[in-house]
Structure formats: structure tokens, C-alpha cells
Amino acid sequence: MDPSVRSRVISNALRLGVHPFMDRIPGHAGSIRTARSTVDAASLLMRHTPRVRFHALQDPGVESGEPPVTGEWVVARDAEAAPGAILYLHGGGYVICSPRTHRSITARLTLDTNLPVLVPRYRLAPEHPFPAPLEDAVAAYRWLLARGVPADGIVLAGDSAGGHLAAALTGEICRTGLPSPAGVVLFSPWVDLTCELSAQAHARDPYISARSARRVARLVVGPNGFDDPRVALLTCAWTNTPPVLIQVGGAEVLLPEAEALAEALTAAGADCELQVWNGQMHVFQLLNRVLPEASAAMRDTARFITAVTEPARTKSAA
């Protein structure tokens, strides 16, 4: 199906107004701070549905010895108690954005699934290079388990760099023997931080470029470089991986990375569904209140989450 008129208009506007800026932004701490301030200021102007409540979370982690868990709970006002939760890891190249910037997705998730959404404020690079974000994600997952949320009722989700983090968290859960979550949802995941795959892509991405992503990636990995096996998703064993849904835009530079991850997961025996949305840009789901394709993608996501968490719901009702 061809992209909607709205989709084409927004993509063209981004290609003309945002892509040149993103492609040339320097990869150093000063430019990152400026980008953070700009994005945070813009997020304050975003309106959100009154059907959803946002609760600040601040757990120092003193008792558990884990890193502190901070962020927010996103809950539908009329939602009944459900035996599960969504752990959402926001994107932003590991260097910008916050739980607030991704409320259009997290609010839609809680409304469509009736599950609360935990959005941790994980540490960002370059001040805190990898694996600091992964340590925070593991702490958030352990936090849910410690408060009685059943693992088979938890879905891990994330977009872009948050998609990389959600996938890395899935691998870390398998390696450390933590209870496996019910499923994983990845929106436009940044799979290959070396950017070798995206550099070969021919898509006219209206938002990001492989060149800019590579500059940011050097800040993300820090002094450890790209040798940390937790960074390299395509070489993970992916044993005992729960069902995975990957959604990616057909017009984005990260499409080859999403396809490669789906192939690796399928080869390892995982149940992986890859959806390529024709003509869509990077993390188009953020515009689910504007784009019909984004709204449809969120409905598909809700169906997947409902299906994989059904055993936990049934068990709770028995």
C-alpha cells in the first residue's frame, strides 16, 4: 500500500528541514547538550490525552544494590489492574530524549493494552557510555520482578537506540538466567552500532543518515569500543528468546539492520515477525495521532502484546 498523503507531506518536510541539520550535527558533548535542550523544550509543548496519567518514579535502589530506577509510570485512567507491564526504553541515539519525549507512544500503548508502562530514565552518553544504559535497563526489569509483576506478563519494547537497548536487555536476561519476558517489540531498532549495514542502504531516509549515526555511535560505546558482545546484537546466540515483533519503515536507513536482526532471530529458532511499512520514516509510530499508518502499526503492536501476555492474564483470572 502506498504511503498516505499525510505521510508523504511530513516525510518531505523532514527531508528538507531536519535531515540536513541531523546529517551535519557535530558528534561532541557540546552539540549533544544543545540537542538535548532543544528536544526537551519541544516535549514540553506536546499535548497528551487526559485519559492517561503520568507518575514520576524515583527508587534509589539502596535495598537491592541495583542502580537507581528513575523515570515514569504511564497508566490509563480507567484501566483495571492487570497482571503485567510494558517496560519501554525510549530512543534518541543513547544521547538525547527522555520518558517525556516518547509519551505519544507510551500513552497509546497503555490505552491499547490496558497495561501500565514503565519508562526508565536510563543514563545517557557521552557522560555514561555503554554498558551504563544496559545496567539501568536490567535494574528496571529486576524492579518489576521484585514488585510481583510476573515475567510472563512483561513485554520489553523500545525504539531506535531504545530498540537496541531492549534487544540487548533480552540477551542479558537470557545470559544471566533471569525469568524470560513474554515478548519483545522493536520500533526501527538501531541494530548495528558500527553502522556498516546502514552505510550500504540506498533509502532516502527523511530523518537520519548513516554518517550522523556513526558519529554518535562512537560516543555511545566509549573507551570499550565495539568489541563488547552486548553491543553486537547480530552475533548474539538468541537462545530461548521470547516472541519478537519488529516494525520498521520502508524509507529508513535502518531497514537493512532490522532485516538482519530478524534473520538472526529466526535462524536461532525464535518466533520473529518483521513488518516493513512502505514509505514510512524512522519511528513513525511517534506520530500515531496524526498518521493513519502509525495508528495502524500501534494497533498491530497491541494485538501482539495482548497475545503474548494472554497466559499471564488467564493465570491471574483462574
d(CA 165, CA 120): 12
Among residues 11, 104, 160, 212, which one is catalytic?
Answer: 160
d(CA 238, CA 270): 8
Q: What is the DSSP string of 176-192?
A: HTPPPPSEEEEES----
Q: Respond yes or no: is residue 160 known to be catalytic.
A: yes
The residue behind cell 525469568 is 179
Residues ≥6 apart with Cβ < 8 Å to 90: 97, 98, 99, 101, 102, 119, 158, 159, 162
d(CA 282, CA 260): 17
d(CA 277, CA 275): 6
Residues ≥6 apart with Cβ < 8 Å to 40: 98, 100, 101
Catalytic residue numbers, as ranges: 160
